Each structure stands twice: as C-alpha cells, then as structure tokens.
Amino acid sequence: MRRSGVNQPKVKRLVGKYEIGRTIGEGTFAKVKFAKNSETGEHVAIKILDKEKVLKHKMAEQIKREIATMKLIKHPHVVQLFEVMGSKTKIFIVLEFVTGGELFDKIVSTPFLKKKVNHGRMSENEARRYFQQLINAVDYCHSRGVYHRDLKPENLLLDAYGNLKVSDFGLSALSQQVKDDGLLHTTCGTPNYVAPEVLNDRGYDGATADLWSCGVILFVLLAGYLPFDDSNLINLYKKISSAEFTCPPWLSLDAMKLIARILDPNPMTRITIPEILEDEWFKKDYKPPVFEEQKIANLDDVEAVFKDSEEHHVTEKKEEHPAAMNAFELISMSKGLNLANLFGTEQEFKRETRFTSKCTANEIVNKIEEAAKPLGFDVQKKNYKMRLENVKAGRKGNLNVATEILQVAPSVHVVEMRKAKGDTLEFHKFYKNLSTSLEDVVWKTEEDMQETK
C-alpha cells in the first residue's frame, strides 16, 4: 500500500532515457508500462519481458525474429515498434503509445454499481470502417509473414483521430513455433475468438486463424455481444467447432453473408482476404490507407539485447524526488476540479476501474475476498494487492483481475481494479456481479445516495 505524506520521497525509475510509469497491461511473459522519453518528452509504451523466462522457454531466437520483422513494419493501422533494449535481467520493447483507448470501449459500457448492463453496438457504416482498417492491417502483416494469433478486444486500440491500431502484432504469441509441416501447433488466444482448427490440435495456418478472429470481432461490433459464448468451456468449444451462432435480426443481409463466410469452421473453404476485399458489403466507402513502406531498419539493437556483455546493456536506476502534493491537498486549491472519475457512480471503465472508500484497507480486502469467492475466483493477497483468478471445475480460468488499495488520506482509500488477463466482455460481466456486493464499501456522495433511493 502506498501512503500519502509530504515527507515520503517519490521514486522515479529510469531505463536508459525512458522514465517508467504505471502498469497499463500485463500477460504471462510480460508487463506493459507507460513511459516518457526524458529527452523528447514523447510518451511511449514499454513491454518488459523477463530474460530468464525467455531463455528457459527457449524463446530467444523467436523473439529476435519477431522483433526484427516488426521493426520493418510501418503501417498506419499497426502499433509501431521503435526500439528494443536489454539489461542483465530484462528485455524492453519500446512501442508507440496509443491514446484513444480500446475499440471495444465504444460498444461496451457497464455503469458502476448499476443492475443493468447496456450492450452497445455500432452502426454498420461505423463497424465497416473499423473492420476495413483491421483487414488492411492484417493483410499487410500476413504479406510479410507476420501472424497475430491472438486478435482480441484489448489488442484493438484507437489513436487520437479515432483510427484503428492493432497492437502486439507478432509479439503476443511469442512461444509459438512452426513445425515441419509448416503449421502452428500451440493452442493460444482468448477462447471466444479462437478458430476451431486451433482447438483441434492438428495444426493450423496462422492467416486463416487470424481471419476467423476478425470475423468474431466484426460480429461483436455489429451485434454488441459474442457469437460464441458459454460458461462451460467444453460447450463453448463445441459451439465454435460447429460454428453454432445466430446473427441478430437488425443486420443487413449482406453483412450476415460476409460474417457467415468468415466464420466458416472449415479453414479450407473459409473466405480469404482477397475475397473479402471484393465483397460488396466490405467495399462500400473503402479507402485503403496511403503510406510509405519502411524498407530499411536498424537491427543492431535486436542482437545486442541477448548479448551478455554489459556494454550492450541499458542502464536501470532509481532516483528519489520530493513527493507531489496528495490528491486532497490539490482539491483544496481547486474547487473546480472534477472528481467524477473517483466518486461518480456513473463511471464508465475500460480494462480497469476504481472507486473510493472510507473503510480501512483490511476491511476492503476482506469485503472483496468475500464477494469474489462465491463468483468462482481464487484470491491471492500480498501488501494490500490482490490477484483474483477464476477457477472452473478445478482448473484455472481465463480471467485474472489485479487489485490494489491506495491510501490518499488517513481515512480514505482508492481501490483500483485492472484486468490482468482475459476478455474485456468477461471483465465487465465479472465487475457487474462483484459490484453488487460492494455497495457498503464504496464512498458515495449525497447526490449518489439520492439517485439510488
């Protein structure tokens, strides 16, 4: 737990020229941190991998190959990889920081502590524009031998102008290996978006598997819900394998036809990207991006990452600075400060959310644990940080939620909950269920109390 106070120094972590900030994402092998270039002031995202884990799983050569390829890819709808650095224990991949949030934030909204979930959906024109950008990015990367293998909501971002940016292209499935038959054999990805051939464990083509995931994404954009969904994993796999889904009645016939051709369980007869580009529904108002391809990239840093010599290592250090004014000192100086994101019950969240509480930290921990366990979640606790992991039928599930309790004043805490692993839709569903048990923990304003009466 972090404590406020003017006497406590603030620690600044530096990696080379980058000042490292808070965690904005995490996975099995890596964490993604917000960072700032101290020389230019530019904001970036830095993916941090544990070198020991990389070497243990024999992933070094694959990572070198993936990073080298990604440095050659410069496409307006793919998050750009700027550089890669290494220390004695870590690998740092510096990426473009995209500011517009996730695409799915535009269609999924769960009001805080409300009993009803509003499933939004896009108009066909809006969904088509994003789908065109997605297909264009996927087509470009496939033409260069790069396959995503884990297309899902949190990997579809929006820039400041509302344009789609696919993240983690070629980096999200680092442990996959192509075998002698030329096919991939590792079952990966978020279950609801995974192609049936990935589940049958007989090998699959990365291009057709990516295309299936694009079809699921298109369905969600237009319908506002998943085409394949079941709390039982075996039943979910059966639905995917048989392509058991029904399009909502508000979709146009042309949109339904295209979705059906993409969500074909047989990868040999599934529509291809060249065929999608000729589809009448897809072609409407289609404007391929105009950009200059990157033909030369400096790959010296890719090799240097794995060299043991310290001359190739980036420096890591921590600097202490006086602590900034705490939140409530700042509030007292600015009556116009908008605190809706902390206290409002109409708060909309993305892959994370937070609320304020007057309860003690221990009371908050106990209350969250009591609420999470009946929902099928295993709870791990350490230093007022919690990890909630769903456990189904004795097996680890797909959703992990990281929780941290922060003290901003002697009697006030902020609780931050962040999706560490899993599907965005599942996170929203989980939080809706959890929040009903936390009503007596959340600090509500008088206005909020009047609204709930």
End-to-end Cα, the chain, rounded Å: 34
User: How many whole angstroms separate alpha carbon 170 and alpha carbon 150?
Assistant: 9
Answer with the residue of higher pLDDT: 296 or 188: 296
Asked whether the beta carbons of 64 and 306 are under 8 A apart, the reply is yes
Q: State whether 402 and 381 are in the same domain.
A: yes
Catalytic residue among 50, 105, 139, 150: 150
> Between the CA atoms of 226, 215, 26 and 409, what dihedral angle is there, to the nearest 10 degrees?
-50
Q: State whether 234 and 350 are in the same domain.
A: no
Buried b (16+ CB within 10 A) or exposed e, 101-115: ebbbbbbbebbbbee
Angle, helix 253-262 to helix 206-223, in steps of 10 degrees: 150
Residues 6+ apart with CB under 8 A from 248: 222, 223
Give residue 408's Cα distance to chain centre.
27
Distances (CA, A) of 431 to 114, 199, 306, 377: 10, 28, 41, 12
pLDDT of residue 156 exceeding 50, the answer is yes
| 207, two tokens | 């291009």
User: How many whole angstroms separate alpha carbon 189 and alpha carbon 199?
Assistant: 10
pLDDT of residue 9 exceeding 80, the answer is no
SS3 105: helix
Question: For the chain, what is the radius of gyration of the CA atoms?
Answer: 23
User: How many whole angstroms separate alpha carbon 339 and alpha carbon 345?
Assistant: 11
Q: State whether 157 and 195 are in the same domain.
A: yes
Asked whether the beta carbons of 402 and 386 are under 8 A apart, the reply is yes
Give the rounded percent of residues in the chain with a pLDDT score beyond 90. 26
User: How many whole angstroms separate alpha carbon 260 and alpha carbon 269?
Assistant: 11
**Residue 32 belongs to domain spanning:** 12-97
* Last residue of one domain, picked from the residues 64, 97, 130: 97
Residue 4 located in a structural domain: no
Distances (CA, A) of 308 to 47, 86, 88, 93: 20, 10, 7, 18
Give pLDDT, residue 397. Answer: 58
Residue 413 located in a structural domain: yes
Lowest mean pLDDT among 309-318, 359-368, 438-447: 309-318
Asked whether the beta carbons of 256 and 232 are under 8 A apart, the reply is no
* Last residue of one domain, picked from the residues 46, 73, 97: 97
The CATH code of the domain that includes 365 is 3.30.310.80
Asked whether the beta carbons of 427 and 351 are under 8 A apart, the reply is yes
Distances (CA, A) of 199 to 68, 182, 205, 378, 425: 29, 17, 12, 26, 21
DSSP 200: T
Residue 195 located in a structural domain: yes
Q: Is 218 exposed, middle or buried (0-12, 13-18, 19+ CB in 10 A)?
A: buried
Residue 125 located in a structural domain: yes
User: How many whole angstroms separate alpha carbon 166 and alpha carbon 169?
Assistant: 7
Place of tokens 């996975």: 27
Across-strand partners of 44?
A: 35, 96
Lowest mean pLDDT among 127-136, 183-192, 205-214: 183-192
Asked whether the beta carbons of 305 and 84 are under 8 A apart, the reply is yes
Calculate ∠ Cα 267-102-438, nearest 5°: 110
Residue 24 located in a structural domain: yes
Give pLDDT, residue 295. Answer: 64
Residue in 373, 383, 385 with CA at minimum distance from that of residue 415: 385
Look up the pTM and report it.
0.69
Q: What does the pLDDT look like over 55-65, one tens digit per residue?
A: 887 778 878 87
Phi/psi at 419 (5° precision): -70, 115
Q: State whether 162 and 134 are in the same domain.
A: yes
Give pLDDT, residue 296. Answer: 65
* Last residue of one domain, picked from the residues 97, 128, 157: 97
Q: Measured on CA atoms in the order 375, 380, 386, 392, is the torsion positive or negative?
A: negative
pLDDT of residue 199 exceeding 50, the answer is yes
Region of 393 please: left (phi>0), alpha (psi -120 to 50) or beta: left
Q: State whether 256 and 344 are in the same domain.
A: no
Written as one string, the DSSP assignment of 306-335 is T---GGGSPPEEEEEEPPPPPHHHHHHH-T
Q: What does the pLDDT look like over 270-329, one tens digit per residue?
A: 999 999 999 999 999 998 888 877 666 666 777 777 776 566 667 776 655 443 334 443
Residue range 417-434: average pLDDT? 80
Q: State whether 114 and 251 are in the same domain.
A: yes
Give pLDDT, residue 53. Answer: 82
Q: What does the pLDDT look like over 214-252, one tens digit per residue?
A: 999 999 999 988 999 887 888 888 999 999 899 999 999
Q: State whether 160 and 76 are in the same domain.
A: no
Q: State whether 105 and 169 are in the same domain.
A: yes
Residue range 195-202: average pLDDT? 80
Give pLDDT, residue 131. Answer: 97
Active-site residue, 150 included:
yes
Answer with the residue of higher pLDDT: 252 or 23: 252
Residue range 389-410: average pLDDT? 72
Give pLDDT, residue 297. Answer: 65
DSSP 155: G
Lowest mean pLDDT among 324-338, 346-360, 425-439: 324-338
The CATH code of the domain that includes 184 is 1.10.510.10
Residue in 198, 197, 236, 240 with CA at minimum distance from that of residue 216: 240
